[in-house]
């Protein structure tokens, strides 16, 4: 189907089903129960799942296939956000031109950065992209203030022209269909919300996922893998690999721009902090955590991190006391004292530790973990060697 083989079609249908039914899957607990805080089925979070999913899928096309570790992808996300908000300011709240422009802007931006950064590989490439992203961040704060509104962040004001607005709605919409409108369905004690914005992002995410599948299976994708495996040898065969890496870089930059545009479409704001290198680190983390170079991995990683970020940030001392109330006081207080460091505002600490643990013990991410478990149970002795799965180019 659609030019995919049987296995990929199965995977694609699985992903379609999961995203379509996400409002049910994410809300497994009744709305009033004590477990409701583990629900993730509210629009804002579900939108973030798919938007960061797109971002990570795009990053994976570069990092997973070519092995070029970019530390500056957030710059494209930020550029996409700014472009989208400008379209809201100038034209109307219709998100179609905004998203198109954000992809184009991010694409052009990534052509420039990619053209320069890809002259080097390995660590130099990482450092160069990092430097570019920091430069963009610094410029968004200072020089480009007329474009970016500096520290305040770019937003839509009442006196903005919005030439095409007419009688259109005052919130982001898709030809009249407002992104924020949500349909709530109550079944017994359960409550599910179906949000227009989420489904819009989800459709684009599925398109993005399909494209990435096609890229993975195409001759172009094969070439990218060859670059990762041994770029020197590829060069010796008389092949210039730079157009391929540049194409991969631009594609992943456009994915990031799309994610940025969608982010602004859900909430018409754009700030420089989206470009900061910690944001770039986050997408690296998502891809690694899920499994770089796998199809499903980045989606999994994005969902995992966004879910736990949300849940962990909500847990505080009183919640912990509620959980461990059955323990003797001394043990309870000791345990809570320890856990407290990792939840709430300590979420970043957990994230850093998780990151280290994954890189140390499971370089292939969750997907490798799943494969290992499956191999153990099926007793398959012909395990594939996953060592050095994403060695950077030029090694």
Nearer CB in complex with another protein: 22/351 = 351
Decide if 195 contacts 20 (C-beta within 8 A): no
Radius of gyration over alpha carbons of the chain, in Å? 22
Residue 338 makes contact with another protein by CB under 8 A: no
Give the number of other CB atoms < 10 A from CB of residue 32: 9
Decide if 149 contacts 155 (C-beta within 8 A): yes
Phi, then psi, of 155 in degrees rounded to 5: -150, 170
Q: Select from 11, 100, 104, 122 the one that contacts another protein (CB under 8 A).
A: 122
> For residues 142-171, which are near another protein according to CB under 8 A?
142-143
Residue 352 makes contact with another protein by CB under 8 A: yes
Nearer CB in complex with another protein: 17/356 = 356
| Structure tokens that stand for 115 in this block | 């053209």
Residue 189 makes contact with another protein by CB under 8 A: no
To another protein, the closest distance from the beta carbon of 126 in angstroms equals 6
Nearer CB in complex with another protein: 32/387 = 387
Distance (Å, rounded) from C-alpha 65 to C-alpha 247?
Answer: 12
Residue 308 makes contact with another protein by CB under 8 A: no
Give the number of other CB atoms < 10 A from CB of residue 14: 11
Nearer CB in complex with another protein: 13/116 = 116
Distance (Å, rounded) from C-alpha 94 to C-alpha 171?
Answer: 9
Q: Helix 43-60 to helix 297-314 angle, to the nearest 10 degrees?
A: 140
Q: Select from 111, 127, 269, 339 the one that contacts another protein (CB under 8 A).
A: 127
Q: Select from 9, 134, 181, 230 the one that contacts another protein (CB under 8 A).
A: 134
Distance (Å, rounded) from C-alpha 127 to C-alpha 72?
Answer: 9
Decide if 151 contacts 272 (C-beta within 8 A): yes
To another protein, the closest distance from the beta carbon of 229 in angstroms equals 12
Residue 341 makes contact with another protein by CB under 8 A: yes
To another protein, the closest distance from the beta carbon of 120 in angstroms equals 6
Q: Which stretch binds another protein (CB under 8 A): 16-24, 52-60, 87-95, 340-348?
A: 340-348
Distance (Å, rounded) from C-alpha 279 to C-alpha 79?
Answer: 13
Q: Select from 355, 362, 372, 375 the one that contacts another protein (CB under 8 A).
A: 355
48-77 footprint of another protein as x/- string (CB under 8 A): -------------------x-x-x------
To another protein, the closest distance from the beta carbon of 185 in angstroms equals 40
Decide if 258 contacts 208 (C-beta within 8 A): yes
Residues in contact with 354: Cβ distance below 8 Å, sequence separation at least 6, in sequence order: 289
Residue 111 makes contact with another protein by CB under 8 A: no
Decide if 83 contacts 261 (C-beta within 8 A): yes
Q: Which helix (H) or strand (E) holds 155?
A: strand 154-155
Q: Which stretch binds another protein (CB under 8 A): 6-14, 114-122, 161-169, 329-337?
A: 114-122
Distance (Å, rounded) from C-alpha 4 to C-alpha 7?
Answer: 8
> For residues 254-293, which are near another protein according to CB under 8 A?
277-278, 281, 284, 288
List residues binding another protein (CB under 8 A).
67, 69, 71, 116, 119-124, 126-128, 130-132, 134-135, 138-139, 142-143, 277-278, 281, 284, 288, 341, 346, 348-349, 351-353, 355-356, 359-360, 363, 388, 390-392, 394-395
């Amino acid at each position: 189907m659609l030019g995919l083989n049987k296995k990929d079609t199965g995977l694609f249908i699985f992903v379609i089903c999961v995203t379509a039914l996400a409002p049910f899957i994410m809300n497994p607990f009744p709305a009033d129960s004590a477990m409701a805080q583990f629900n993730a089925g509210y629009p804002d979070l579900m939108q973030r799942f798919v938007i960061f999913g797109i971002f990570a899928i795009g990053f994976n096309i570069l990092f997973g296939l070519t092995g070029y570790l970019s530390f500056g992808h957030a710059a494209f996300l930020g550029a996409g956000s700014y472009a989208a908000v400008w379209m809201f300011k100038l034209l109307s709240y219709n998100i179609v031109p905004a998203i198109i422009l954000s992809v184009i802007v991010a694409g052009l931006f990534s052509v420039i950065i990619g053209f320069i950064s890809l002259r080097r590989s390995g660590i130099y490439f990482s450092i160069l992209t990092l430097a570019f992203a920091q430069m963009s961040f610094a410029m968004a704060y200072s020089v480009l203030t007329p474009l970016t509104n500096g520290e305040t962040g770019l937003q839509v004001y009442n006196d903005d022209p919005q030439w095409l607005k007419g009688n259109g709605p005052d919130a982001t919409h898709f030809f009249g269909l407002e992104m924020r409108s949500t349909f709530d369905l109550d079944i017994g004690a359960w409550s599910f919300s179906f949000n227009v914005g989420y489904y819009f992002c989800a459709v684009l995410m599925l398109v993005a996922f399909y494209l990435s599948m096609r890229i993975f299976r195409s001759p172009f994708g094969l070439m990218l893998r060859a670059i990762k495996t041994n770029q020197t040898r590829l060069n010796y065969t008389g092949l210039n690999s730079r157009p391929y890496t540049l194409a991969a870089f631009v594609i992943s930059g456009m994915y990031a721009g799309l994610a940025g545009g969608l982010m602004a479409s859900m909430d018409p704001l754009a700030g420089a902090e989206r470009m900061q290198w910690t944001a770039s680190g986050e997408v690296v983390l998502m891809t690694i955590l899920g499994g770089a170079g796998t199809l499903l991995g980045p989606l999994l990683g994005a969902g995992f991190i966004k879910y736990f970020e949300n849940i962990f940030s909500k847990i505080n001392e009183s919640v912990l006391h509620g959980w461990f109330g059955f323990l003797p006081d001394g043990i309870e207080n000791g345990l809570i004292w320890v856990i407290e460091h990792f939840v709430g505002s300590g979420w970043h600490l957990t994230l850093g530790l998780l990151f280290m643990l994954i890189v140390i013990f499971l370089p292939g991410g969750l997907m490798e973990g799943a494969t290992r478990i499956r191999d153990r149970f099926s007793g398959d002795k012909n395990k594939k060697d996953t060592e050095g799965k994403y060695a950077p180019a030029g090694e």
